[in-house]
Amino acid sequence: MTSLAADLPNDPDLVAAWRQGDEFAATQLVRRHGAALGRYLSSGGADSGDVEDLVQETFIRAFRSLHGWRQDGSFRGWLFRIASNLLKDGFRARRGRQMVALEDHDLVASADPASQFAADETAERIQAGIAALPRLQREVFLLRVEQGLEYAEIATALDTTPGAARVHYHHAVRRLKELVQ
Amino acid sequence: MICEALSDQMPAVARGDVVWDAEEALHFAQCAECRDEYALVAAVLSSARPAPVLDLDRIAAAVSAVGREEGKVVAIASRRRTWTRGLVGLAAAAGIALVAYSIRTDDPVAVAAVPARTTTAIPELDALLEDELKIVLASLTEEQKTLTPGPIPRLGELTEAELDALLDDVEG
Ligand SMILES: [Zn+2]
């Protein structure tokens, strides 16, 4: 593997600076993780008009409970855990809404209607397959693929172990692979 | 084992964040399992909902504002603790000064000579009358009276508001 990312201050350093009142550190953390949290909240079913407020609330809750973050755990995983709790609160408040339906998704445009149809069909099958997965498998798979979280971060986010997260991911992949063949 | 190593990198490769190295690329070209899994990952990413448009700078500003607001509360609370400690120290010092003052006034010759305001070991207390020193002493709890006084805060280090608060305390 060859990383294309530049060397940047790591999360624990930024969090330590944030705790000391360094507002630029807070800004860097928001810029680093805000978009992924937005995608997660959005694909988790949050109303599009609420996503920005939910991302903001995630960081504010994180700030208020920084003392509760274990330095040995992943800060990003912890942020996702807070976001996940916000989603659950939202679901409870709205009596459980399901994931956003596929027709709401903007699919990649294609000049070829036939291949577009095939792509739509595949995407639809995949989304239906993801929705049909057991909850933990679905959440692990989406955090891994859509958000790019490492297993350790997923473990923090979903309160499980990295090993269990890996097993859930591979179960999900085995089920879904058949849908794209 | 290399299948698992590739699997771990697939989301990042599909996003374009990393590229396979030569060994991984060779395995990928020869392994149908890995290619199937990668096709799934790529399909999920391409059919994923587009990322919501967020004003991250606005979010960062709002988060910083909350931090500033709540950080201020923490700062005030810790300053108040320092201030309380300062008052305790000052009051304890006043107690010592009063004891010294009382010892001196026990001397019958000195009684007549001692003016209403006398010089103490603590310059900030020099301006206080005996009754005022007694008030400060009376404000000490028993526990505080037994404390060894720490470094005595200089009144010059206090803000105007803190000085006012001290005067209110002393003057009732
Ligand atoms: Zn392989």
Whole-angstrom Cα distance, residue B96 to residue B172? 21
pLDDT in tens, B110-123: 434 444 444 444 44
Global pTM value: 0.58
pLDDT in tens, A116-132: 666 677 788 888 898 89
**Of B47 and A61, the one with more pLDDT:** A61
Cβ <8 Å between A106 and B60: no
* A9-97 against A109-181: fold identical: no
pLDDT grade, residue B71 (50/70/90)?
low
Retrieve residue B120's tokens.
């103490």
Ligand 1 centroid, distance to A178 Cα (angstroms)? 16
Retrieve residue B122's tokens.
């603590």
Give the domain ranges of chain B. 2-47, 77-171
Tracing tokens 């206090």 back to the chain, one arrives at B158
Give the domain ranges of chain A. 9-97, 109-181
Predicted local distance difference test score (pLDDT) of residue B77: 39
Length of chain A: 181
pLDDT in tens, A81-110: 999 999 888 766 765 444 443 333 333 344
ipTM for the predicted complex comes to 0.74
Annotate B75-105 with three-state secondary structure. HHHHHHHHHHHHHHHHHHHHHHHHHHHHHHH
Residues 38-77 of B with CB under 8 A from A: 39-41, 43-52, 54-60, 62-64, 66-68, 70-71
Taking residues B142-147, report their average pLDDT: 43
How far CA B120 is from CA of A20, B148, B156, in Å, comes to 41, 18, 17
Neighbours of A154 (CB within 10 A): 29
pLDDT in tens, A33-46: 999 999 999 888 88
Predicted local distance difference test score (pLDDT) of residue B101: 46
List the CATH code of the domain at A9-97: 1.10.1740.10
Architecture category of domain A109-181 in CATH: Orthogonal Bundle (1.10)
pLDDT grade, residue A115 (50/70/90)?
low
A5 vs B contacts (CB less than 8 Å): 17
Cβ <8 Å between A23 and B59: no
User: Does pLDDT of B158 surpass 90?
Assistant: no
Taking residues B136-146, report their average pLDDT: 45
Cβ <8 Å between B40 and A173: yes
